[in-house]
Structure 1
Amino acid sequence: MKKVCFLLPEGMVKPSSLFGAIEVFEKANEFCIEKGNGPFYELSVAGSGISQSLLDAQFMIQPGRHHLETLRPDIIVIPGLYEQDRYALDKNKALISWMVQRYAQGTELASMCTGAFLLAATGLLRHEECSTHWLAGRAFTNMFPDVYLRTDKIITAINGIYTAGGAQSSLNLVLYLVEKYSGRPAALYCAKVLQIDIERSSQSPFIFFEGYKKHGDEIIHKSQLYIEKNIDERITVEFLAGKFALSKRSFIRRFKKATQHVPVEYIQKVKMESAKRELEQSRKNVNEVMYAVGYTDRKAFRNMFKKVTGLSPVDYRAKYNSAFSGEPSGAAAPGR
């Protein structure tokens, strides 16, 4: 039997990630019982307890009479957090210390969505990959610059430490754990009963890119605006550096420091974001969208679009533009 402990920190949690994860484990137990075995997962809730507003009501969870010192879970699961700052982490130093102690004794750790902030505060993710919701990416990187953040991934798993992207994506992490502990049939049962897409592996299609501009470097800010206003042009780093009277090396250094992206990556992301919007909202074919964002090479456009979103242009349009049931004849070549 696996002992799964859901850890409630001091502060506000995202109920959807907590209850969704609990339900997946409960369905896994249901599967085990139907197969003639007893329940495989022993579920518990521990920590500080929560009391927070939910619409016009007060939402409260009071953990059972578990003393952290006596708990010996096989895995600790951290739900998503609303509070993502140093103060929130300082309030939970005892829980953070307890997680470090348990991990040293063989307990595995898993965070869902922004629960990654609490997990990263343990120091156990230093120089390792981690995922969290992409909207929290900048705040996470600022607080934990020594963690390799992968907001493109739904799940990361290394050395018995697991992280998941957004709140609903956290269900994919729990399915991953169920498959690891109980096998593929159990995970498929949970996925089918709860209608979860078990094969999701990337947050990329859901990310919208907004370049960071609150950095105080006026020249870099102007270069960002120029890129965004001239999407249909072929913009090079050399051109931008010369336009703003900087050497190429100095421009790249300042741009990366200000935006956390090298210029080439930033240009590509801005162009692909514009392409996404066109595919979502317009009736332009893929060729027209390609030209509108400054690309003339069909293969290069498709490859870059798929690198950024995880989908081909045609597949992206089919998924996110309700007005389209398919591409006009002859327009599919660039996206396939």
Structure 2
Amino acid sequence: MTSPIRIVIIDYPNALQSAVQGLKELFLIANKIIIDSQFDMQFTVSVVQSDSEFGRNSQSDIVILPPNFDGHYYRAPQPEVLQFLHDAHNKGAVLCSACAGTFILAQTGLLDNRPATTHWQLAEEFNALYPKISLNVESLLINDGDIITAGGLMSWIDLGLEIVAQFTRPHIMRTLGKYLIVDTGKREQRYYGSFTPKFNHGNQRILQVQHYIQANYNQALNIALLAGLACMTERTFLRQFTHATSLKPIKYVQKVRVQKACERLESTTQSFELIAQNMGYDDVSSFRKVFITIIGLSPSDFKARFV
């Protein structure tokens, strides 16, 4: 007898419809591969919108919150949605979210003191609203057993593949990926992110230093120089800079330089060696290590993937 894996996709107001319908179709395609693999289970998919539909789907194995397309519903979802998520989790369902859908999941309190991810551009807002959650936007997907969160707007594909792998077999997921012609290898959100410094913190002295770094990133920069520009002791500068930008000064400078290097790799034919020199590094291997640490790819791999 075929065992059903019951999936509920919550089509909340302004949910990304390509994700809602795409996830449904992904699981239906997976069913065909499951049959061909003679695996004794099938996914059943329900798309729900209203309270009455929540009641008819009270028994579920997986609940998915897709990305948000527009509007602000994900910041203030209906209490009925949060209650449904609580009830489903209490009955053993795996809760899943993609992109801004993680905000809805966060408001249940079920993510407190647990790891999660969302879109990298939403990280600052998410951290401010939910400080108890261990947010890691470098990860495209975090599978924490009974809760799975995915990062980017299109991460619903990665989420769907992860669910297929977890509830069937990894080879079925890989076969599905080949059929869809999507990458099933490990990816990270930091491959796609870009560094956008925080300038609206209100600390004018730190802002002046940031402007200096932006204009002189390829010069020798150290704590003593930057603290002097801010007319602060090094200790005070380190504390205020970190508070204002959420990064230590050296890490901040590294991120600015790596962002500039990425832009050069994407827009010019310059070698990484020349780019490293233009970033102020005499030791190319040292800058390559910094690049890999921040981006997660080597310069050649980054260029192969994006250029």
Do these two structures clear the TM 0.5 threshold for a shared fold by scoring above it?
Answer: yes
Q: How far off is 1:175 after superposition?
A: 0.8
Alignment of 1:163-178 (within 5 A): 163-178=149-164
Structure 1 position 129 matched with structure 2 position 100:
no
2:16 counterpart of 1:7: no
The aligned counterpart of 1:30 is 32
Rounded to whole Å, the distance in 1 between the matches of 2:76 and 2:27 is 30
Cα offsets for 1:188-216 (capped at 9, x unmatched): 12101111100132012211111011111
Q: Give the equivalent residue in structure 2 for 1:17.
A: 19
> How large is the Cα RMSD of the aligned pairs?
1.9
Distance 2:97 2:293 in 1: 26
Q: TM-score, normalised by structure 2?
A: 0.92
Runs of 4+ in 1 over 4 A off after TM superposition: 36-39
Percent identity over paired residues:
27
Segments of 5+ residues of structure 2 without an aligned counterpart are none
Match of 1:222 among 199, 205, 208: 208
- Is the aligned partner of 1:179 residue 2:165? yes
Cα distance between partner residues in 1 of 2:293 and 2:71: 29
Query: 2 CA distance for matches of 1:72 and 1:111?
Result: 18
* Secondary structure of 1:156's aligned partner: strand
SS of the aligned residue for 2:100 comes to: helix
The number of residue pairs the alignment matches comes to 304
> 1:142, 1:35 → 2: CA distance?
46
Deviates more, 1:184-193 or 1:138-147: 138-147
Asked if 1:190 corresponds to 2:176, the answer is yes
1:149 to 135, 148, 152: 135
- Does residue 1:211 correspond to 2:197, yes or no? yes
Check if 1:108 corresponds to 2:94.
yes
In structure 2, the partner of 1:296 is 282
Q: Distance in 2 between matches of 1:182 and 1:69?
A: 25
Amino acid at match of 2:65: I
Deviation of the 1:293 alpha carbon: 0.9
| TM-score in terms of structure 1 length | 0.85
Long gaps (5+) in structure 1:
50-64, 322-336
The answer to whether the aligner puts 1:201 opposite 2:204 as a matched pair is no
- Give the conservation status (yes or no) of the 8 Å contact 2:54–2:84: no
CA shift digits 1:108-155 (9 cap, x unpaired):
100012111111111111122111111222222222222222111111
Using a 3 Å threshold, how does the CA distance of structure 1 residues 191 and 298 change in structure 2: closer, same or farther? same
More divergent stretch after superposition (298-307 vs 69-78): 69-78
SS of the residue corresponding to residue 40 of structure 1 reads: strand
Q: How far did residue 226 of structure 1 move?
A: 0.7
1-structure distance, mates of 2:231, 2:49: 56
Match of 1:55 in 2: none
**Structure 2 partner of 1:71:** 58
CA displacement 1:238-268 (0-9 Å, x = unmatched): 3211221112222122222222222121111
